[in-house]
Amino acid sequence: MATVWRSQRAFARFFAGKTVRILNNASDLGAKLTPASISVSSTQNYSNYAKSPFVKRIKEQYEFDIVKNPPEWAYVERLMPFESIPNVTPKETYPSGWIPPKEEAKNLPYFIARTRNHQMPIYLDLSMKGTRKISLIRRIEGDIWLLNDLIKEHLQKTQKRYVETRVHELGRFIEVKGDFVTTLRDWAYAQGF
Amino acid sequence: MTSTLINVFKKLNITAVTQIRLCSSATNVVSEHRDISVIKKDWKFPPQYTKPREVWIENLDTVKENKLGLFELHPLIYATVPRIDLIHRNVEWQKKYRWVSWAHTKTRAEVRGGGRKPWPQKGLGRARHGSIRSPLWRGGGIVHGPRSGKTHFFMLPFHMRIHGLTSTLSAKFAQDDLHVVKDLELPTEESEYLIDLIKERNWGPSVLIVDDTDYAPRNITVATDNLPYVNIMPVYGLNVYSMLKHDTLILTHAAAQKIEERLLNHLHSNTAIQQAKFKLDQV
């Protein structure tokens, strides 16, 4: 009994004579706890629910008002990821060596469309542990058979030998047997694709 | 009128090499006799080589077909070469992801009895057996049988789903099974009206109607309520299986635009998030 009494007296001494601030976890959530908001006087028993003070409307620590479409929003938008891959801004030269497609290529009876990243869709397929090399031309529109003939003719001229190709009409791609990716890319850039 | 028709046919002729790219001459089709206008589109991702397809905007407020205008569709969505393999993969996926197999068999441990050795190991001249529920026995347990609650869920890769949709839309459009209507307002809520309309316009036995909102007008919902072969769907519910299940696909003007916009955006953006491995808590 004596120990209980002593502890109560210690508690009373801690809050002696004046209103003090009660620390709690909400103190750092943008709201300042003033002595007026939550306060106890030492005369009251704080652990008593019925006698504890009402929580009043707290004062905001920072003054703010909500604005729709503020001018600063442009800076936030600048940080957001792109919704879609942006179009290329036309320039004189491109330091990366990227070659832009030419407008006149659209008048040809065949067409190789760029990928979504504005790259030329000509790839090398390696299989059989790298011994089987297939050059793949994808995204062909228009007359795929005419394009196939021209590719064969061009490779015959540059490689000085017959080069086998395979046309997939439904999948709109041409496979060329052998690694001719650089040759084919240069040819496609020269055509303006 | 004849010259108009010739113009239309010229524009529809896609195989002729000289006619492939004619994006600019769309306004030629406007006729003086009727107040038909081509709605020229200003796409975010304009077609590169293949010219846009044109489709009539029809009406639903009379049984007789009435053409209200022409509308351009993006060739990447509505005029690609239909990859039938991708359409098939999509249909298989849609059948499988919701399929839970409840076939079930009991193992030798679950079949009742069989705890006792049926006869002694030696001395009888008979085969050695330790349980009458062994899989060798009639009425015994089943080895490697089906166990119930087997899910067949998997996710088809994202671009296969996207190209499945474009392939199916293109196939429907090429087969003249895709129609665009202005809106879904019907004059009555009688089913007979809709039956007559479908018969008059030769819209196959089953019709799928797609709108861009979840709430269709009252008349059409009441009219289709007891027609099991006419169904209404919002844009976000559009799928390959339903498009193939129904003979005719009816898109509202707004729905056609919304489908186009969404799919085009996926075809021209970084889809690393959508292509990431499927996780159960990602939705």
Residue type present at position A10: A
In-domain check, residue B5: no
* Token digits of residue A47: 């652990």
Same domain, B176 and B112: no
Which of A116, A143, A171 has the CB atom closest to B268's CB atom?
Answer: A116
CA distance B74 to B261: 9
Helix (H) or strand (E) holding A141: strand A140-142
Residue A14 pLDDT > 60: no
B58 and B167 together in one domain: yes
Task: Tell which of B136, B151, B166 closes a domain.
Answer: B151
Contact between residue A123 and residue A133 where contact means Cβ atoms under 8 Å apart: no
Q: Judge whether B18 lies within some domain.
A: no
A128 — alpha (psi -120 to 50), left (phi > 0) or beta?
Answer: left
Structure tokens at A131: 């011994």
- pLDDT at A168 > cutoff 90: yes
For residue B88, give how far its alpha carbon lies from the nearest alpha carbon of chain A (Å): 15
> What's the angle, vertex CA B163, arms to CA B251 and CA B50, rounded to 5?
75
Q: Where in the sequence is the domain holding B147, given as residue range(s)?
A: 105-151
Q: What is the pLDDT of residues B31-50, one digit of tens each?
A: 444 556 667 778 999 999 99
Task: Provide the CB-side half-sphere exposure for A20 (13 A, CA).
Answer: 15
Identify whether residues B138 and B197 lie together within a single domain: no
Query: What domains can be seen in chain A, in order of their start residue?
Result: 2-60 (no CATH), 103-191 (3.30.780.10)
3-state secondary structure of A60: strand
Predicted local distance difference test score (pLDDT) of residue B245: 96
Q: What is the pLDDT of residue A63?
A: 84
Res A131 pLDDT > 70 = yes
pLDDT confidence bin for A144, thresholds 50/70/90: very high
CA A57 and chain centroid, separation: 41
Name every chain A residue with its beta carbon within 8 A of the beta carbon of B84.
170
Q: What pLDDT, in 10s, does the model give residues B147-182?
A: 999 999 999 999 999 999 999 999 999 999 999 999
Digits of tens for pLDDT over chain B (283 positions)? 445 545 544 444 444 343 344 444 444 444 444 556 667 778 999 999 999 999 999 999 999 999 999 989 999 999 999 999 999 999 999 999 999 999 999 999 999 999 999 999 999 999 999 999 999 999 999 999 999 999 999 999 999 999 999 999 999 999 999 999 999 999 999 999 999 999 999 998 999 999 999 999 999 999 999 999 999 999 999 999 999 999 999 999 999 999 999 999 999 999 999 999 888 775 5
pLDDT reported for residue A61: 84
pLDDT tens digits, one per residue of A15-25: 444 444 444 44
State whether B42 and B143 are in the same domain.
no
What gap in Å lies between CA B233 and CA A31, rounded to an integer? 49
Residue B95, in any domain of the structure: no
| SS3 at position B86 | helix
The residue with tokens 């001459």 is B25
CA proximity to B87, closest of B145, B10, B168: B168
Residue B52 DSSP label: P
Let me know: does B223 contact B255? Beta carbons within 8 Å: no
pLDDT value at residue A51: 78
Q: Within a 13 Å sphere around the CA of B255, how many CA atoms are in the beta-carbon half?
A: 29
Please tell me whether residues B170 and B239 are part of one structural domain.
yes
Are residue B142 and residue B240 in the same domain, yes or no? no
Pick the more confident residue, B120 or A48. B120
Parallel, antiparallel or unpaired: strands B248-252 and B178-181: parallel
Query: Band of the pLDDT at A58, cuts 50, 70, 90?
Result: confident
Which pLDDT score, from 0 to 100, does residue A4 have? 42
| Same domain membership, residue B268 and residue B176 | yes
Chain A partners of B44 at a C-beta cutoff of 8 Å?
A: 84
Q: Do B20 and A109 touch (CB under 8 A)?
A: yes
Q: Are the Cβ atoms of B269 and A111 closer than 8 angstroms?
A: no
* CB-nearest partner of B20 from A82, A114, A142: A142
Please say if the pLDDT value at position A111 is more than 80.
yes
Q: Retrieve residue A30's tokens.
A: 């943008």
What's the longest Cα–Cα distance across chain B? Answer: 107
pLDDT of residue A85: 94
Q: What is the per-residue pLDDT across A20-42, written as a single tens digit (0 to 9) for each? A: 444 444 444 455 555 555 554 55
Q: What is the CATH number of the domain that holds B208?
A: 3.40.1370.10
Specify the number of domains making up chain B: 2
Measured torsion, CA atoms of residues A104, A107, A108, A110, in degrees rounded to the nearest 10: 110
Q: Which of B50, B81, B265 sits opposite A84 (nearest CB)?
A: B265
Report which residue type is found at A99: I
Looking at residue A133, what DSSP letter applies? Answer: E
Same domain, residue pair B193 and B250: yes
- Strand A20-21 and strand A165-168: the pairing is unpaired
User: A85–B44: do the CB atoms touch at under 8 Å?
Assistant: no
Query: Is B100 domain-assigned?
Result: no
Q: Which of A85, A111, A171 sits opposite B268 (nearest CB)?
A: A85
Measuring CA to CA, which residue among B9, B34, B56 is closest to residue B176? B56
The reply to whether residue A84 touches residue B21, judged by beta carbons under 8 angstroms, is no
